[in-house]
Structure 1
Amino acid sequence: MSCKITLIGAGSVVFAKTLIGDILQFPELSDSTICLMDVDPERLKVADIMMKRVARKLGVNPTIVSTLDRREAVKDAKYVICTIQVGGFKPSTVVDFEIPKKYGLRQTIADTLGIGGIFRGLRTIPVLLGISRDIEELAHPDCLFLNYTNPMAMNCWAVDEAVGIPHVGLCHSVFGTARMLASHANLNYDDVSYLVAGINHMAFFLKFQYQGQDAYPLLFKALNDPDRHYELVRYEMMRRLGYFVTESSEHQSEYVPHFIHFGEEMVDRYKIPLDEYIRRCEAIIASWKDTEAKLIGEEGEIEVKEQSHEYGSFIIHSIETNTPRTVYGNVPNQGLIDNLLQGCCVEVPCLVDGTGLNPVKIGELPPQLAAICMSNVNVQRLTVSAALTGKREHIYQAAMADPHTAASLPLDKIWAMCDELVEQHQKDGFLGEFEPVIRGTGRSFAGIGDRLIATAKASASHLDVVDSELHLEISVENPRKTTQSVSLALSPENENLELQKTQLQIEIAPQSTATEVVPGTIRKPITQKTRVDLISESTCVLAIGATLVPRTWISAKEDGFGHFEMSLSGFPCATGKIRRHQGNLELEMQIQDSKPEVYPENPDQSSYVHLFFSEQNRNNIAALGVIPGEGEKSGIDFWNKSKSETKTSYRYSQTELNYTLTASIPLHAIGLPESGPFLFDATASLQALGDAHSGGKAFLSGENQPHRYNDRAFLIDC
């Protein structure tokens, strides 16, 4: 029953010895062709010698070959096993730890999630896709790809989405944890059964049974057992979620936001081994010479242990011999777990026999487990997208979505850290190019992000005054690295607006903005909201027209006042009334600010009312502020005049939900005539809107810079 089994990453010699040793201990597989492949010729040489010694020790006669050529290794293989690490311990893993540490982000393992998992995925996915395409082209038609390389879920997801060959991700966390739990519960492992589902390294024991009975009470009893002190994080999560998770506490502590970033007290309390993976790698490197000597035979006969519990050999044996088994595999979520993202990579039981690998449908996870899994799936989705599309913004967004990173760093540090990691891994030659991001937008230059944005804006004008001038400012932003030329057309909706030109040709330098002003004239009063469409026939241009809004007229009511209202986010926030009387402007406003505060050192964040006045046909705007309160710094504040220059009166009262201010201001102080219409606008800053909403800034006319423009100001005739 000979078949070709290829191991890519055979330089991981200790694990390779376990995997291939397991395979050769099945008599039906002992005459297989074992092809060892690695990019490191020295490590590959050790692996070749080692595996031939293992075969002799077992008394079997496989064909063992070695090659540095990946395509040659894959050719005609029925099974391809992958155990690679792209970038190795140095430089890549060290970079993944040291750069985040500079920003205050600490990690334990950094191979599955978090910033380390993200960048390991970005380095690894392109290589796995190359292997997958080689398999698709060269391998046996029924070839199965068995991946042991982390980050498991990201890698398998990318392989499925980009290539789609038959594959499974394999991890020892399920059977390893099951044996540990049996020990903690003082049960014989052979009497234990379980059902596990979720995502790799965050799958949960949905059932843990002893001879068909629920054995979870024994695990909860173990919460206070000092012998399980090295699994404090996992037991704490079981206490909170009700289910035990598959991967170790050092892993789990960096998948959730509840532990590491709270500092040394929490790290010590839960015995979290920061930088654990670095220590493990350094120990392996330090002992490599001794390990190598034992593997290649300088110190006696090689030791071959009995078959491990790794799933790889069992899957191959079951398919080749039609022996039914159940293993746990990482596979595409095609209706397997209903409340996890379809298409993501999930870890579920798989029935394997001569028909192949058959994942088992789970249905829905308990909602709390689905929620915590999705916090990781979101990071995986964005990382896979970054790797497959080259969109750099998805790298930042994956880090933003990562629970531990988001809990530890503000956004500016996340951005800077990602930039430094990208630059360093690219410099080391293990990371490809990613499209640059448009500053401040989160969009890349790929796709919609490279469109030019053309905008029309009307300058100050009087739509109600015949023959008044209007200027349309056309600006075009060019995010591209080359000069662009765009053709634009202006199309006024209202024939009462006459433009001097309606066809434009604008050239924009790389990564800059070009502006052109088009004069126009109001031939007849415009009394309704009017559009001026900006049109481009190019799909590369996003064209945004201008909207001309006629002024709102306010006339006197029976009480002689003109009345107005202001809103904040759709909620009424202020009412007021205004009139001219005996040479003064009289104003009364009630502001629904239930928590008026004044901060002299930060006036923009204070409660206030700003008022703006102008004659109907003038652009000179008088501005003043009204500061709520009864203290010395409260009252009317003329922006360009002192209080002593004007004789004003001001009254203030306050209730639990609002305050009322009344003011009388000489007309000459704000440049208004005794009669005739005038322009008025107002803004109000509130700390809290009534008793149910936060505050904000409200604008009477909708113009957020009324001190510069008065084309939307209300027209007061009272």
Structure 2
Amino acid sequence: MSLKITLIGAGSVVFAKNLISDVLQFAELSDATLCLMDIDPARLKVAKVMAERIVAALGVKATVTATLDRREAVRGARYVICTVQVGGYKPGTVIDFEIPRKYGLLQTIGDTLGVGGVFRALRTIPVINRIAQDIAEVGAPDCLLLNYTNPMAMNCTAVHRAVGIPHVGLCHSVQGTSQQLATLAGLPFEDVTYKVAGINHMAFFLKFEYKGQDAYPLLFALLDKPGFNAEKVRFEMMRRTGYFVTESSEHQSEYVPYFIHHGKKVIERFDVPIDEYLRRCEAIIGTWEKTEAELLGGKDGIVVHPQSHEYGSYIIHSRETDTPRVIYGNVPNRNLIDNLPAGACVEVPCLVDAQGIQPTHVGTLPPQLAALCQSNINVQDLTVEAALTGKREHIYHAVMMDPHTATVLPLDKIWAMCDDLIEAHQKVGLLGDFAPVIPHTGRAWAGTGDRLIADIRLDEKATSRKKDGTLHAEVVVINPRPKAVTASLELRATPYGSRLSSRPPLKLKIAVPAGKTVRKPVTLPHGTPLSQGLALRLESPSSDILTKDYLVRPRTVLQAGGEGARFELKLAGFPAAEGTLKVKNRSIHFRIAVDDSKITPSAVTWEGSTVELFFAASDSDPITPFFLLPQPGAKKVTCLSSARKPFPGLAPRITPSRKGAGYEIEIEIPFATAGISSTAESLLFDVYANVTALGDAHSGGRTSLGGHFDSHANPNHFTRVEFAR
């Protein structure tokens, strides 16, 4: 039985012509069976006639077959060459360009990385994995997949992870660039040697030598040569990194964040061809009739060119004849490049002979090159994860990690753009369904996102006011699911710090419609004053319901005698403020030192640098607030009432902090102004500090002595300060 070589995607007839003629020009392969497969009958017909004319022109004994059945094409094949383009120019590529452009995201090629590469991979990976699965099931036992389809690294990574058959990704950038560099340096190519490694389209010439000598100085000399303007992006990257990259400037410009998004001047300076791939596709489509006639041979017969530098035919020949050759292949990183992730698809030198593809160990890339590769691998890995798991969130993650996209769009626009792209692909049947996410987030429903959330909220004012030994509360259940659910819950009241209760739990069943929130008032017997602390424990026997407790901490009691009651506020675990409260001559003497290195005034007290004071005579008495607003430089402080008007008769003082950044405020408030009786022996108070910047390295925030964001509205959370009359 003759050697069977299958070409899937044979409708890419120009590329197919080169591959077929390359293979058949090896005498040892000239009697092979070439099986052509495509989903387009018209294109497949052209490809078959073209292949038969190549056979005739070369005078070889090869057999050509054609089929629309992919599995039959793979059956018994020893080599499967993949050149598919899923989605074609229209609608696939057009969608990839038009929707991002609406968001201001420009692309050049969009087939390897970036948002265009991500979505090309999402629609291609299911197809190429089905091809790989066919190979595993009906291909020859030692069948080798030769993949030419972009995005190369994503497709090959997916095959490696999902199916694991022998495969190699093939590109012509190493061959083409090595010859291009020899020409630019004025060197005969036959005397040039090189070593390349990295990832597809971002591999680097680690060595570029002429007769054993480092020839890089010839390339760097071109940077200062008057009138030299070839490959501006790639030479600029060489200038900055020290090494020349394999793929063209139009590709490279969208793999890094240094060119496209910096505007028209930079784009023109580096000759970045925006929408280049669209123009190329349209040109090919526009000349298809002429190309078709040439491929079919016309009256003068088909022209067969000498073998190209594409690796495919050389791999097949080396494997069949045990002729050793070195090619550059895209393969899983199995101890090949030490400072790139294991399993990532890397491009390295490979020995090919009868033993197959044998990648060689490169070692460690220069760290700047590894960093550039890693920025692309992040996108590749997340895209493959999305394709293999069906998790929609990883589509967003892949695009947000793309170096080019991240320089152009904020996160909300990235999410919206991805949603539009997913919807557009699904409308034309290029993408299936993905697992839903919590709206506008990168978190899947599967897990926390699709669980019901049950919360218990105590009405502390009503509980304190009624004084009937009953807790008045509300259970709130949120159902994010697309269907109605009945939540089974148990509620019990326990002492603060304990999970034990002497009373049986209150059992609840709450029906919650799809996508709705239900609030249910409840009461529980409880004889302990809130000031002693308690915990409302909400639980469910179902793991599908996330339940939350409500805690009332025991009231803190401070003594204001002697030096006064001392207190400290912390923000995210760091000291943010400290102070004292004294009582003297029926007045409150309050001092606070706030560590705020960026005093920022604001019309809204809680948005700028502010100290907020709240006083009450008891749990049931009104609360009197005071808002202290420092000015930049700690030169002035204003005290406002709840009506945001200056308090008459109060004269707060402010000084720069004695301990470094920040400020210190002192204020004396008469009992009557604070709503405290002249005969009182204690008072309730809370203090908030709104910090813009904590110290020299931390962001700001809002913190309180009571420990609750809303404690200023609830005296149950206030601290009691006791003092002698």
- Whether these two folds match at TM > 0.5 is yes
Which segment drifts farther, 269-278 or 584-593?
584-593
Q: Which moved more, 1:109-118 or 1:670-679?
A: 670-679
Residues 399 and 405, structure 2, Cα contact 8 Å, conserved in 1: yes
Decide whether the 8 Å contact of 1:500 with 1:518 is kept in 2: no
In structure 1, what residue type is equivalent to 2:541? E
Q: Distance in 2 between matches of 1:499 and 1:397?
A: 49
The answer on whether the counterparts of 2:638 and 2:646 sit within 8 Å (CA) in structure 1 is: no
Change (3 A) 1:619 1:542: farther
Asked whether the 8 Å contact 2:560–2:583 carries over to 1, the reply is: no
Determine the structure 2 residue equivalent to 1:573: 576
3-state SS of 2:256 partner: coil
1:542 Cα shift? 2.9
1:297-446 correspondence to structure 2 within 5 Å: 297-446=297-446
> Is 1:637 matched with 2:640?
yes
Which stretch of structure 1 is more off in the superposition, 404-413 or 677-686?
677-686
Counterpart-to-counterpart distance in 1, 2:126 and 2:323: 35
Letter of the structure 1 residue corresponding to residue 20 of structure 2: I
Letter paired with 2:480: P
Distance 2:449 2:343 in 1: 26
1:651 matched to which residue of 2? 653
SS in 2 for 1:316: helix
Which SS does the other structure have where 1:649 is aligned?
Answer: coil
Deviates more, 1:208-217 or 1:59-68: 208-217
**Superposed displacement of residue 195, structure 1:** 1.6
Query: Alignment partner of 2:209: what SS?
Result: strand
SS in 2 for 1:439: coil
Unaligned runs of 5+ in 1: none
Q: Residue type matched to 1:21 in 2? A: S
Aligned to 1:284: 284
| Structure 1 partner of 2:703 | 698
What displacement does 1:145 show? 0.9
For the residues of structure 1 that align with 2:532 and 2:380, how far apart are their CA atoms? 51
Deviation for aligned residue 1:98: 1.2
Pair 1:586-2:589 in alignment: yes
Partners of 1:165 and 1:713 in 2: how far apart?
68
Say whether the 8 Å CA contact 2:618–2:715 is kept in structure 1.
no
Is contact 1:497–1:521 with CA below 8 Å preserved after alignment?
no
Q: Does structure 2 conserve the Cα–Cα contact (< 8 Å) formed by 1:471 and 1:519?
A: yes
Q: Does 1:563 align with 2:571?
A: no
In the alignment, residue 623 of structure 2 is paired with which amino acid?
A: I
AA aligned opposite 1:653:
T
Q: Secondary structure at the match of 1:435?
A: coil
Closer/same/farther in 2, CA of residues 641 and 541 from structure 1, 3 Å limit: closer
Inter-partner Cα distance in structure 2 for 1:459 and 1:379: 49
CA–CA distance in 2 between the matches of 1:166 and 1:145?
6
Q: Tell me which residue corresponds to 1:554.
A: 558
In structure 2, distance between residues paired with 1:709 and 1:367: 57
Choose from 494, 503, 508 the match for 1:504. 508
Shift of 1:533: 4.3
SS in 2 for 1:306: coil
On the 8 A contact 2:469/2:528 being kept in 1, the answer is: no
Q: Give per-residue Cα distances to partners, 1:44-82, cap 9 Å, x unaligned.
A: 111111111111111111110111111111111111111
Cα displacement string for residues 525-566 of structure 1 (whole angstroms, at most 9, x for unaligned residues): 68987655443333323333344321221112423x211111
TM-score, length-scaled by structure 1: 0.94
CA distance in 2, matches of 1:480, 1:124: 31
Question: Do the aligned partners of 1:375 and 1:403 also contact (CA within 8 Å) in 2?
Answer: yes
Say if 1:153 and 1:584 are closer, same or farther in 2 by CA, change over 3 A: same
User: Which segment drifts farther, 67-76 or 442-451?
Assistant: 442-451
Quote the Cα distance in structure 2 between the aligned partners of 1:109 and 1:652. 61
Given that 2:619 and 2:716 are in contact with CA atoms closer than 8 Å, whether structure 1 keeps it comes out as no
* 2:542 aligned partner, one-letter code: S
* Cα contact 1:467–1:524 (8 A) shared by 2: no
- Segment drifting more, 692-701 vs 309-318: 692-701
Report the RMSD for the aligned CA atoms in angstroms. 2.6
CA deviation string 1:665-711 (max 9, x = no partner): 23333332331333211211223334454433222222112233344
User: For residues 713 and 27 of structure 2, what CA distance do their matches in structure 1 show?
Assistant: 87
Distance 1:82 1:542, change over 3 A: same
Q: Number of residues paired by the alignment?
A: 714
Structure 1: distance between partners of 2:550 and 2:292: 74
Residue 668 of structure 2 is matched in structure 1 by 664
Query: CA 1:370–1:557 in 2, change beyond 3 Å: closer, same or farther?
Result: farther
Shift of 1:380: 0.8
Q: Is the 8 A contact 1:651 1:662 kept in 2?
A: yes
Paired position in structure 2 for 1:489:
490
State how 1:107-146 maps to structure 2 within 5 Å: 107-146=107-146
Report what 2:692 is aligned to. Answer: 687
Distance 1:33 1:570 in 2: 72
2: CA distance, partners of 1:685 / 1:232: 51
Distance 2:596 2:418 in 1: 42
Distance 1:474 1:338, change over 3 A: farther
Counterpart amino acid of residue 546 in structure 2: L
8 Å CA contact retained: 2:512, 2:518: yes
Name the CA shift for 1:528/1:20 in 2 (closer, same or farther; >3 Å): farther
Q: What is the CA distance between 1:238 and its match in structure 2?
A: 1.2
Aligned to 1:211: 211
Q: Which residue of 1 aligns with 2:83?
A: 83
Structure 2 spans left out of the alignment, 5+ residues: none
Partner of residue 536, structure 1: 540
Once residues 384 and 136 of structure 1 are traced to their aligned partners in structure 2, the CA distance between those partners, rounded to angstroms, is 20
List aligned pairs for 1:3-14, cutoff 5 A: 3-14=3-14
* 1:102-123, Cα deviation, whole Å (9 max, x unpaired): 1111000000000100111111
1:224 aligned counterpart, secondary structure: coil
- Measured in 2, the distance between the counterparts of 1:206 and 1:582 equals 82
Moved more, 527-536 or 540-549: 527-536
Task: State the one-letter code of the partner of 1:617.
Answer: D
The whole-number CA distance in structure 2 between the counterparts of 1:241 and 1:456 is: 58
Counterparts of 1:711 and 1:152, CA distance in 2 = 64
CA separation of 1:588 and 1:633: change in aligned 2, threshold 3 A: closer
**Given residue 613 of structure 1, which amino acid in structure 2 is its aligned partner?**
F
Q: 1:552 to 1:299 in 2, by over 3 A?
A: farther
| Residue range with higher mean Cα deviation, 610-619 or 112-121 | 610-619
Do the aligned partners of 1:10 and 1:36 also contact (CA within 8 Å) in 2?
yes
SS of corresponding position for 1:707: helix
Is 1:31 aligned to residue 31 of structure 2?
A: yes
Per the TM alignment, residue 188 of structure 1 is displaced from its structure 2 partner at its CA by 1.7
Alignment-mate amino acid for residue 28 of structure 2: E
Distance 1:530 1:162, change over 3 A: farther
Q: Give yes or no for contact 1:649–1:665 (8 Å, CA) kept in 2.
A: no
Kindly provide the amino acid, as one letter, of the partner of residue 599 in structure 1.
S
Partner of 1:678: 683
Deviation, structure 1 residue 453? 2.8
Which amino acid letter does the alignment assign opposite residue 607 of structure 1? S
Amino acid at match of 1:519: T
> 1:500 Cα deviation (Å)?
7.7
Contact 2:482–2:514 (8 Å) recurs in 1:
yes
CA separation in 2, counterparts of 1:641 and 1:248?
63
Q: Secondary structure at the match of 1:51?
A: helix
Question: Does the Cα contact within 8 Å between 2:493 and 2:526 map onto a contact in 1?
Answer: no
SS of residue matched to 2:581 = strand
In 1, Cα distance between equivalents of 2:504 and 2:682: 30
CA drift at 1:502: 3.3
SS of 2:231 mapped into structure 1: helix
For the residue of structure 2 that corresponds to 1:229, the secondary structure is coil
- Change in Cα spacing, 1:665 to 1:172, as seen in structure 2 (3 Å) is same
- Distance change (3 Å), C-alpha of 1:692 and 1:142: closer
1:609 to 595, 607, 611: 611
Distance 1:298 1:262 in 2: 49
One-letter amino acid of the structure 1 residue matched with residue 663 of structure 2? Y
